[in-house]
């Protein structure tokens, strides 16, 4: 691919973190001509200025419909086609949709040249999604721990228990009701908040 001109890639993604992750991935893979767009103001002019070979857009971006119309009616942009055009490549398409991304590719590009970009994009979108899920998990675990601490404190104070006994009581209650400790703690804390408010 060294003999060929580097592909011009345009990334349209409202999420700045994912945008950065994707750009880094593409650069690491040797694609140096990457342009990032965070918003879609003046989209047509910007596409015209960049003249991309490949456009990558996240599926949560409502401007996908806008893009599709530009390719249809505009006389000033080259007409990229959705990656969905080739039905033989179902697997990639499904992976891309699962990862939350869509790509448009200028007609006539050899698909081997585009493949690496698509694979990279899909894997980076996947990585971002995992990162986000982990963050959510950490956040809710942290929140749950705080709630359990409060519930323990309430029990220690109102029933004169030590910390281990308070935790044991929460645990037994959870088991006997078939609930999670976090949920029992949550109910106790909200009940107390109600009574004291």
Give residues in contact with another protein (CB under 8 A).
Answer: 59-69, 72-73, 82, 84-87, 90, 93-94, 97, 102
What is the distance in angstroms between the CA of the first residue and the CA of the last residue of the chain?
69
Kindly tell me which of 62 and 160 has the beta carbon lying closer to another protein: 62
On whether the CB atoms of residues 82 and 59 are closer than 8 A, the answer is no
Kindly tell me which of 89 and 119 has the beta carbon lying closer to another protein: 89
Least spacing, CB of residue 55 vs another protein, in Å: 13
Least spacing, CB of residue 34 vs another protein, in Å: 23
Least spacing, CB of residue 73 vs another protein, in Å: 7
Return the ∠ at Cα 190 (arms to 189 and 193), rounded to 5°. 90
Kindly tell me which of 2 and 72 has the beta carbon lying closer to another protein: 72
DSSP per residue, 90-119: HHHHHHHHHHTEEEEEETT--HHHHHHHHH
Laid out side by side, the sheet with 101-106 consists of 34-37, 9-12, 54-58, 101-106, 80-82
Residue 37: closest CA among 21, 54, 15, 59: 15
Kindly tell me which of 94 and 134 has the beta carbon lying closer to another protein: 94
Least spacing, CB of residue 51 vs another protein, in Å: 21
């Amino acid at each position: 691919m060294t003999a060929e001109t580097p592909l011009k890639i345009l990334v349209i993604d409202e999420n700045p973190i994912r945008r950065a992750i994707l750009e880094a991935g593409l650069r690491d893979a040797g694609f140096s001509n990457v342009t990032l767009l965070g918003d879609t103001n003046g989209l047509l002019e910007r596409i015209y200025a960049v003249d991309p070979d490949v456009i990558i857009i996240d599926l949560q971006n409502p401007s996908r419909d806008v893009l599709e119309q530009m390719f249809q009616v505009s006389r000033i942009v080259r007409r990229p086609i959705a990656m969905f055009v080739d039905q033989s490549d179902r697997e990639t398409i499904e992976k891309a949709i699962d990862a939350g991304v869509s790509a448009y590719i200028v007609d006539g590009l050899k698909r081997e040249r585009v493949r690496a970009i698509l694979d990279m994009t899909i894997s980076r979108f996947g990585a971002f999604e995992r990162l986000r899920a982990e963050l959510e998990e950490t956040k809710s675990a942290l929140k749950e721990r705080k709630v359990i601490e409060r519930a323990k404190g309430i029990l220690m104070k109102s029933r004169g228990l030590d910390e281990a006994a308070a935790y044991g009581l929460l645990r037994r209650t959870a088991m006997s009701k078939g609930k999670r400790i976090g949920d029992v703690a949550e109910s106790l804390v909200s009940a107390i908040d109600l009574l004291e408010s």
